[in-house]
């Protein structure tokens, strides 16, 4: 699928038929799938129960909400967003995420923290995709964002290039917190979660610094 060719304005991302949205209603049914997931970490499981990992291990995350599963062809949307400078998709993603979150009755966090990129990576890419999503989400939900609360101090290898077993080690010590005043309830904003190691490392740090509750809101999860 050539995403550059596919996405022309006024037509559906997937089938190219005319639509005012990023994709049409038929393709929504066919392609935007959201699996049932562990409410805590967002790992796919059939029963929507707490997964074994969350039951047994100490987890730093209270809830995870994602818009869709990172499967073909919906994952092509994310690739277009991340690698073909389709910045405007961040608004589309954020709106959908906000609509899901508005239906929830739980307490909303007081601040949104986009997963920081290392400054070298951000320089190459030109922007932080998680920050773009957080900006839109913050407007929808009326929550402030704080992109400087923590930073990425280790320029780690992209998690997607590593075997699952070494991913946790790869992100150890990757983040630093830049303030003494940690909000009590935070939502971490990410674009794609693969194994969850990066998010969990950041959540661990925030919890240790005094945060009491961490929710994770992302566009897609494997
Ligand atoms: Zn379509
Ligand atoms: Zn879980």
Shortest-distance ligand to the CA of residue 30: 1
Shortest-distance ligand to the CA of residue 43: 2
How close is the Cα of 113 to the center of ligand 2, in Å?
Answer: 21
Under 8 Å between Cβ of 185 and 107: yes
Q: Tell which phi-psi region holds residue 98, choosing left (phi > 0), alpha (psi between -120 and 50) or beta.
A: alpha
pLDDT digits (tens, 9 = 90+) for 27-73: 888 877 778 899 999 988 888 888 888 888 768 999 999 998 998 88
Q: Which two tokens stand for residue 173?
A: 């010590």
pLDDT digits (tens, 9 = 90+) for 176-202: 999 989 999 999 999 999 888 899 999
Q: Which domains does the chain have, with CATH numbers?
A: 32-221 (3.40.50.2020)
The Cα–Cα gap between 193 and 202 comes to 13
Q: What distance, in Å, lies between the first and last C-alpha atoms of the chain?
A: 19
How close is the Cα of 195 to the center of ligand 2, in Å?
Answer: 11
**The pLDDT value given to residue 6:** 42
How close is the Cα of 38 to the center of ligand 2, in Å?
Answer: 5
Under 8 Å between Cβ of 137 and 143: yes
pLDDT digits (tens, 9 = 90+) for 146-179: 999 999 998 877 777 777 778 778 888 899 999 9
Shortest-distance ligand to the CA of residue 36: 2
Instruction: Read off the pLDDT band of 8 (50, 70, 90).
Output: low
Under 8 Å between Cβ of 111 and 146: yes
**The pLDDT value given to residue 184:** 97
**The pLDDT value given to residue 131:** 95
């Amino acid at each position: 699928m050539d995403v550059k060719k596919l996405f022309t304005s006024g037509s559906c991302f997937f089938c190219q038929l005319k639509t005012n949205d990023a994709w049409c209603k038929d393709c929504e049914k066919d392609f935007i799938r959201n699996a049932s997931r562990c409410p805590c970490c967002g790992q796919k499981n059939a029963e929507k129960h707490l997964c074994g990992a969350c039951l047994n291990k100490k987890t730093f995350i209270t809830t995870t909400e994602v818009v869709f599963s990172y499967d073909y062809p919906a994952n092509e949307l994310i690739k277009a967003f991340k690698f073909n400078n389709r910045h405007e998709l961040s608004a589309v993603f954020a709106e959908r995420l906000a609509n899901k979150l508005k239906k929830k009755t739980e307490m909303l966090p007081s601040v949104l923290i986009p997963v920081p990129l290392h400054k070298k990576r951000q320089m190459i890419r030109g922007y932080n995709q998680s920050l773009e999503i957080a900006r839109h989400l913050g407007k929808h939900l009326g929550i402030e964002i704080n992109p400087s609360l923590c930073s990425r101090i280790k320029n780690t290898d992209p998690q997607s290039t590593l075997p699952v077993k070494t991913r946790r080690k790869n992100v150890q010590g990757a983040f630093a917190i830049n303030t003494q005043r940690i909000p009590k309830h935070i939502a971490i904003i990410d674009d794609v979660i693969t194994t969850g190691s990066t998010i969990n490392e950041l959540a661990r740090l925030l919890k240790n610094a005094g945060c009491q509750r961490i929710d994770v809101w992302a566009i897609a999860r494997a």
